[in-house]
Amino acid sequence: MIQFHGLIHKFPKEIKNLILIFIMVLSVGFYGGLFFVNNTTAMKSNGIENRYLGNENDTNAKVMLFKKSKSEMLTIVHNHILSLSVIFFLISLLISITSLQKKIKYFLMFEPFASVLLTFGGIYILWSGVLWFKYIILLSGILMTLSYTLAVFFIIQQLYFKNIK
């Protein structure tokens, strides 16, 4: 049987450096996306609602927003679920070969997939008229970001410091 636990420590230096560069570039894209979300929603539940449902009735709005069309919503949901699934699959593969405790590994490997579905499926549900779902979107987005950040931290830590648990 092949033993994967702690395998990341045994990689040659050039593979470790490649993983580090990949994680760094991926993180620029991931956190760049968060910057965009902050810019368009202010990371607030009402900002999320206005982003997808518009704010045409708000006479004090600085920028007028209109409800997204069904095709826009399907494109947003489709693109984000596909791309984030690949990102979290790759991150999960790297987490799986660390020496982290099994419970921490499993959380960091599987939670982001639930958050992706809740966040982007939730955006569609919000758009469909279930307004309270904006709170689920906010919470799942926070969990997704926290999971990504912790996973990246542990991967980088374990690339260069042997068997830290």
Report the pLDDT value the prediction gives residue 161, as an integer from 0 to 100.
83
117 lies in some domain: yes
Average pLDDT over residues 5-20: 93
Residue 6 placed within a domain: no
- At residue 164, the pLDDT reads 52
Per residue in 23-71, pLDDT (tens digit) is 999 999 999 999 999 999 999 999 999 999 999 988 888 899 999 999 9
Return the sign of the alpha-carbon dihedral for residues 19, 22, 25, 27: negative
The pLDDT score that the predictor gives to residue 2 is 65
Which residues form the domain of 145?
11-43+72-160
For residue 28, the model assigns a pLDDT of 98
Global pTM reads: 0.93
- pLDDT-derived band at 4, boundaries 50, 70, 90: confident
The answer to the question of residue 3 being in a domain is no
Cα–Cα distance for residue pair 129/101, rounded to 1 Å: 41
Average pLDDT over residues 64-88: 97
125 contacts 133 by C-beta, under 8 angstroms: yes
* Count of the separate structural domains present in the chain: 1
Task: Please check whether residue 82 lies inside any domain of the structure.
Answer: yes
Q: What does the pLDDT read at residue 57?
A: 87
DSSP 126-137: HHTT-TTHHHHH
Q: What is the pLDDT of residues 105-137, one digit of tens each?
A: 999 999 999 999 999 999 999 999 999 999 999
